[in-house]
Structure 1
Amino acid sequence: MTVHSATLAIDETVRARKAAGEKVLHLGFGEAGLPVPEQVAAVLAGAAARNGYGPVVGSYEAREAAAGWFTRRGLPTGPDQVLFAPGSKALLFALLAALPGDLVLPCPAWVSYAAQAALVNKRVIGVPVPAESGGIPDPALLEQALTRARTAGANPGVLLLTVPDNPTGTVALPAHLREVCAIADRHGLAVVSDEIYAELCHDGHRAPSATSHLPERTLVTTGLSKSMALGGWRTGFARVPDNAWGARVLRDVIGVASEVWSSLAAPMQAAAAFVLADPPEVTGHIAASRRLHATVARAVHAEFVRAGALCRAPRAGFYLYPDFESARAALADQGITTGAELASYLLERHGVGVLAGEAFGDAPRGLRARVATSLLYGDSADERWEALRSDDPLALPWISGSLDHLREALGALVPQLGAKS
């Protein structure tokens, strides 16, 4: 039996409460929270008459644009190495269905990886992330974990990396990524590199990629849901290596796609082709988005640190992963001993929606949660545009009010630690 995705469930819960008139701070769902640029919307509207199915892999126009997009980012790519789908989530599932062997997964990791592995009867071999960042297994622990897994009867075959990372909002160190890829190479693992946040590194640089270290066995998935805030448009694409192995994987994924989603909606392919050509209006929009994500994530991070949480500084995207272990005794006095109880308390008592670390494969007893900051930019398109264009978004009343709400909730949650910081 499968269960409702934790991220989608918290989104529906918080939105229902807000619709009922409750004051709720939505920090539970990783929607990019920004409006659609007019030029992009116009391209989609202009393609409305494209109602044919088209090739499973996507139109040549879209694949050529994606190939150029990868190539301009230092990864030479041809159109025949690209496959489009209704969201990168579908592509991740198809890859897990097509690739042999069990899944090796950093812990914590995005909620759907392990769930998708279960749907295709793969074991999950969890390996803790390094202290510095998330998204990859700690290279000092990975080899041992692979050996133990084989001894226990597992068959490690697929290593899934997320760089930059959800849920921690960090970027893996290049040296760690290189070590992890070397281990994957020694053990014959296929690497699936989820790079959906690669355009949103706060410093404006590209995130490191496994394709730099294991190009012949790395498959990249990405899409437009985060960089362009087009999650509802469900536009994802993948790149396979330019070799015989990559061609076999692509063939097998096409087989899955042909029976599950047929093809990405043709109007979405037209919009993708426009966006992936990197016109100035798109690159400027992404740069402004990046600045806003960084500014608000840093401000929310400061509130958690002020409240006494241990929390990695955000480096990309719009996530944080605070740990309240230092407040365990104080929280236990309030009946909070697990991450799920922490999340429930924040929502029920203080109107703050977060997701417990347990949803990301973390230990249930860990007092950790994933915090998403990207729905703080406003409730209307006008407010979001103003936040995007503002030189000081933290001064906007709806954002400053949200920070005040969070500060009050965290102060009430752990008053002893907040008073000391």
Structure 2
Amino acid sequence: GEVLLPRPCPAWWAPQARLLGRAVYHVPTPAECGGVPDPYALLETVRRIRDEGGTPRLLVLSVADDPTATVPPPEVLHEAVEAAADEGLHIVSDETWRDTLHRPHDTVLIGPAEMAPDRVTVLTDLSGAFLPPSLPAAVARFPATAWGTALRARTLDVLTALGAFLAAPVAAAAAYVLGEPDEVAERLVRATRLHARVAAAAQRRVLAAGALARPPQAGRHLYVDLDPLRPALTARGVGDSQDLEDFLGERLGMPAPGGHRFGDELGALRVRLSTGPLLGSTQQERMTSLTAPDALELPHVERALNMFGSAFDDLRAAARRMEPPR
């Protein structure tokens, strides 16, 4: 059956579904957050798919969202889960960044499995918060039902047929971090605090330049909307998110994947910006950032943030020069 995804969503979701031969439909998200579909838009999309002869079966969502770095309020998530349940959809909840809340004492994060345990499979990519990208491993928790047991068995059959086995060193590392030893937990807390500080500083620079970005609440990135600076960007030959990706990638000296890679419209001037490149260009600089009492005071972090901000300040200055006189 068809797969429904929020717009925007992680870059890998739609390609994976299409590799399986599944049609993908993107559903708009609420104004206050990303990661979950607007419940009314979800119901309308399901109705439209069925009117066209389709069979929507699966909704994928995220409670600590990539790319928007937002956490949906519990009531918003509940409405989306309730709408999905009413339409008979199974839910896959990607909770890769769940353990990276920037303000854990102020942010309420509830997963859909806590609301509808029989309808939700929880997926976590351990190379998000726990393991380096060179050690790819993920964990899935299926519903504790007969149907969930059958789904798990079918998933294992497919993975076996594909030869998708974990190498012994990767399996050992995954088992170790899943035990949450003190050194892993402490490093995660330090890393989360560091990325939260840098993400907030980057967002302040984006907003000061007149662009838009929701306050980052989780993860190691922020999602920026540069539509308010469109006239200045148009003057530089930037007309869509692919142009914007190329333009900012060169100006910032870091990857700046456009929103089209996350299911957004090509014409929308949005990019996902990671905080990692702002922490240093060498392993030593990154480690210094991780252990410093205040990384924002480090020369290499301050320099990176200033360069980051200047790219947007230049666009803001150009946009102001193009404004008609008052």
Deviations 1:100-154 (A, max 9, x none): x110000011111111111111111110111111111112311111111211222
- Contact 1:308–1:417, Cα closer than 8 Å, also in 2: no
Work out whether 1:192 is the aligned partner of 2:96: no
Give the 5 Å matches for 1:8-23.
none
Structure 1 residue aligned with 2:34 = 134
Partner SS state of residue 191, structure 1: strand
Q: Partner amino acid for 2:301?
A: I
Structure 2 residue aligned with 1:367 = 269
Structure 2 residue aligned with 1:179 = 79
Instruction: Give TM-score scaled by structure 2 length.
Output: 0.93
Deviations 1:314-357 (A, max 9, x none): 00011211111122223222222211112222234553530111
Partner SS state of residue 220, structure 1: strand
Work out whether 1:314 is the aligned partner of 2:223: no
From 125, 148, 163, the counterpart of 2:48: 148
From 409, 412, 416, the counterpart of 2:311: 409
Distance across 2 between alignment mates of 1:351 and 1:237: 34
Structure 2 residue aligned with 1:326 = 228
Distance across 2 between alignment mates of 1:305 and 1:298: 11
Give the 5 Å matches for 1:1-400.
101-204=1-104, 207-349=109-251, 351-400=253-302
C-alpha spacing 1:350/1:390, structure 2 compared with 1 (3 Å): closer
Distance across 2 between alignment mates of 1:328 and 1:103: 33
Deviations 1:155-176 (A, max 9, x none): 2101001120011011111111
Query: How well do the aligned residues superpose, as a CA RMSD in angstroms?
Result: 1.7
- Contact 1:352–1:409, Cα closer than 8 Å, also in 2: no
Partner SS state of residue 199, structure 1: coil
- Contact 1:297–1:314, Cα closer than 8 Å, also in 2: yes
C-alpha spacing 1:377/1:229, structure 2 compared with 1 (3 Å): farther
C-alpha spacing 1:268/1:349, structure 2 compared with 1 (3 Å): closer
Partner SS state of residue 203, structure 2: helix
Higher relative contact order (CA 8 A, sep 6+): 1
List 4+ stretches of structure 1 deviating above 4 A.
416-419
Q: CA deviation at 1:365?
A: 0.8
Q: State which drifts further: 290-299 or 352-361.
A: 352-361
- Contact 1:130–1:138, Cα closer than 8 Å, also in 2: yes
Structure 2 unmatched runs, 5+: 322-326
- Contact 2:231–2:319, Cα closer than 8 Å, also in 1: no
C-alpha spacing 1:137/1:410, structure 2 compared with 1 (3 Å): same
- Contact 1:194–1:222, Cα closer than 8 Å, also in 2: yes
C-alpha spacing 1:306/1:366, structure 2 compared with 1 (3 Å): same
- Contact 1:411–1:418, Cα closer than 8 Å, also in 2: no
Residue identity (%): 37
Distance across 1 between alignment mates of 2:137 and 2:285: 25
Distance across 2 between alignment mates of 1:200 and 1:262: 27
C-alpha spacing 1:267/1:345, structure 2 compared with 1 (3 Å): closer
Distance across 1 between alignment mates of 2:20 and 2:221: 28
C-alpha spacing 1:418/1:225, structure 2 compared with 1 (3 Å): farther
Q: Partner amino acid for 1:158?
A: L
Deviations 1:257-280 (A, max 9, x none): 111134212232222222222221
Distance across 2 between alignment mates of 1:417 and 1:287: 40
